[in-house]
Amino acid sequence: MSYRDTYEAWLASSALSEAEKAELEGIRGDDKEIESRFFSQLEFGTAGLRGTMGAGLYRMNIHVIRHATQAFAEVILAEGPEASARGVAVCFDCRNNSDLFAREAARVMAGNGIPVRLFESLRPTPELSFAVREYGCIAGINVTASHNPKEYNGYKVYWQDGAQLPPKHADEVAKKMRELDVFACVKTMDYDQAVAEGKIVLMGRETDEKFLAHSMAQVNDRAVVEKVADTFKMVYTPFHGTGYQLIPEALGRLGMKHVICVPEQMVIDGNFPTVVSPNPENPEGFALAVELAKEHGADFILGSDPDADRVGIMVNTGGGEYKVISGNQTGVLLLDYLIGAMKRAGKLPPNPVALKTIVTTEMARKVAEVNGLTCYDTFTGFKFLAEKKDALEGSGQGNVIMAYEESYGYMLGSFVRDKDAVTAAVALTEMAAWYFDQGMTLYDALLALYEKYGYYAERTMNLVMPGLDGLKKMAALMSGLREQPPAEIAGVAVLQQKDYKDGGVVNVADGGRSAMELSGSNVLRYEMADGTSLIVRPSGTEPKVKVYILANGKTKDEADGKVAKYAVWAESLKG
């Protein structure tokens, strides 16, 4: 069917409410808008679904949620009766419609005879990963769009290990979605009946307590927090999201006496009224927190994104001003601290390992190797970090003490298989308290690490390409780089061209070819003669191509200069 035919079919469907039909009738004269909503269905990938909310096949709404859940249910049922009887855990965040979408997903699972554990109210994403593992579920569903703008929502799916769905199963769900009619195929069950019959069981405080117990077990130096608790102050913001309860509670259990929460942002609100974007990567979102920190003389600021899987920090530079510490820098600080703290506490395991993604700073590798750890790379996304952790620990090759990616995600311990802002908040606060006891801010600590390990600088360029034309531009950019791979960038020779799609490596000087361990992802990487790494990767969740610049130098100015030079090249790729 054409997008026009699909549009008319939706309008004629009895499944739509009057409000939904009115919304679609309102765009009847706008062919471009109709095409954007009905040219295709939202693509189901290993991260599930994500898109703007509204009526239509290429939008997030209850019909798309039910359709995806029916497809997922059939994949689960194909695993056999024992597997499906283990049930599915369902969680949701603070976004508009998240609770509605979660309940609809639960109704469809129950309608297919698959038992559901549904959180009674919004919870952090890592608690969903934990619940899947803790209760032995076959799978999990989380309704969240993480840090995306308020217009978005998403549907993330997990498998029995608590990590996001493996590519094999994601492909099966996507195939089912193509085969099944979006309306006619769906089996549902009345919500109240499902609860009464025990087919939907609500989770609450008992699961929180189990999760927090594991989170607090990651603490290495409670004594240093107790030592400085009377004078050490911090500001926390959940950006209107799910961290608002568990993170302050966890910090209190750590021993913190002065956790000053931003009152306006402790209010749950899917419209995120106090920020342009609820993303801890955006410094402007911390404006209210900075005001509060200055008022109270706080030592650092911590913010978790709406679904509380990512966390960002700002630190007092010593003069009452607060500086953003990037995800790359935060991870390096935390890795270096954990190695030392675990050694002091006698908790560093044999064969210790650090994990990072291919787009994360190479300084993490330097920190790991100088301290006797092995550092492995994975593709971007915690499902790959989780997969690598399980592979290493399952084979006895190593014990992972930390896994992280540059976009503010950190995984500690073995009780979750996703990024975890709750546990990371505890670890970061413990670290800040330890440096405070040494008479240092985290900014001082970062500068000391540069002196010890060398100067590194990173920048992520977001080449935004919205709309249908944007998808074509993104594809054209990647194909163009493959068809005419650059031998020189910004006047510097390319030593190696790496294509993670097929795992191929080309040495530019002699044309020699070899293969990498990693393959199967639409990512290109260039190793430059000046030691810089450049990575080009289309986003899997947003209409943009990301260019990562990973540089180093003998001085800060040298490293920063390389970043600035390559940023000009990156900007030129947008055309």
Tens of pLDDT along 502-527? 999 999 999 999 999 999 999 999 99
Tens of pLDDT along 278-316? 999 999 999 999 999 999 999 999 999 999 999 999 999
Name, in order, each residue with C-beta under 8 angstroms of 424's C-beta and a sequence gap of 6 or more: 311, 334, 410, 412
The answer on 425 and 324 residing in a single domain is: yes
- For the question of residue 146 being annotated catalytic, the response is yes
Name, in order, each residue with C-beta under 8 angstroms of 325's C-beta and a sequence gap of 6 or more: 312, 313, 314, 315, 333, 442, 443, 446
Q: Decide if 5 is inside a domain.
A: no
Short-list 474, 466, 470, CA closest to 52: 466
Q: What does the block give as tokens for 209?
A: 């307590």
Q: Decide if 32 is inside a domain.
A: no
Could you give the count of Cα atoms lying within 13 Å of 124 in the half-sphere of its Cβ? 32
pTM of the model: 0.94
Tens of pLDDT along 148-203? 899 999 999 999 999 999 889 999 999 999 999 999 999 999 999 999 999 999 99
The answer on 85 and 45 residing in a single domain is: yes
Supply the pLDDT for residue 95: 97
Bridge partner residues of 378 (DSSP): 357
Rg of the chain in Å (alpha carbons): 24
The answer on 133 and 165 residing in a single domain is: yes
In the block, tokens 């703007």 appear at 52
Q: Decide if 111 is inside a domain.
A: yes
Q: How many domains does the chain have?
A: 3
Tens of pLDDT along 199-219? 999 999 999 999 999 999 999
If phi > 0 it is left, if psi is from -120 to 50 it is alpha, else beta; for residue 54 that is left
pLDDT higher than 80, residue 475 = yes
Whole-angstrom CA distances from 538 to 149, 435, 461, 542 are: 19, 38, 11, 9
Whole-angstrom CA distances from 118 to 67, 84, 558 are: 19, 16, 52
Using the CB atoms, write b or e for 270-286: b if 16+ within 10 Å. bebebbebbbbbbeebb
CA 55 from centre of chain: 26
Sorting pLDDT into bands at 50, 70 and 90, what band is 350? very high
Neighbours of 462 (CB within 10 A): 13
Amino acid present at 484:
Q
Average pLDDT, the chain: 96
The answer on 106 and 193 residing in a single domain is: yes
The answer on 437 and 312 residing in a single domain is: yes
Short-list 6, 12, 106, CA closest to 62: 106
Distance CA 460, CA 546 (A): 7
Query: Torsion angle, CA of 402/404/408/413, rounded to 10 degrees?
Result: -30
What CATH number is attached to the domain comprising 561?
3.30.310.50
SS3 content of the chain, % helix, strand, coil (to 5): 40, 20, 35
Domain C-terminal end among 391, 419, 453: 453
What CATH number is attached to the domain comprising 425?
3.40.120.10
Amino acid present at 485:
P
Q: Decide if 235 is inside a domain.
A: yes
Q: What does the block give as tokens for 497?
A: 């061209």
Per the CB < 8 A criterion, the answer to whether 102 and 156 are in contact is no
Please give the full DSSP string across 7-22, using - where no structure is assigned: HHHHHH-TTS-HHHHH
The answer on 483 and 447 residing in a single domain is: no
pLDDT higher than 90, residue 436 = yes
The answer on 372 and 234 residing in a single domain is: yes
Distance CA 208, CA 437 (A): 31
The answer on 562 and 497 residing in a single domain is: yes
The answer on 364 and 488 residing in a single domain is: no
Distance CA 407, CA 281 (A): 7
Q: Decide if 197 is inside a domain.
A: yes
Please give the full DSSP string across 470-507, using - where no structure is assigned: HHHHHHHHHHHHHHS--SEETTEEEEEEEETTTTEEEE
Q: Decide if 68 is inside a domain.
A: yes
Residue numbers of the domain that contains 113:
40-206
Strands (E), 384-479: 399-405, 409-411, 455-464
The answer on 433 and 370 residing in a single domain is: yes
Tens of pLDDT along 230-257? 999 999 999 999 999 999 999 999 999 9
Tens of pLDDT along 87-140? 999 999 999 999 999 999 999 999 999 999 999 999 999 999 999 999 999 999
Distance CA 572, CA 545 (A): 12
Tens of pLDDT along 321-347? 999 999 999 999 999 999 999 999 999
Note the helical H segments in 286-420: 287-296, 327-345, 363-370, 382-394
pLDDT higher than 80, residue 541 = no
Sorting pLDDT into bands at 50, 70 and 90, what band is 46? confident
Q: Decide if 19 is inside a domain.
A: no
Catalytic residue among 98, 146, 326, 407: 146
Domain C-terminal end among 453, 486, 507: 453
Distance CA 92, CA 60 (A): 14
Q: Decide if 288 is inside a domain.
A: yes
The answer on 491 and 434 residing in a single domain is: no
The answer on 467 and 531 residing in a single domain is: yes
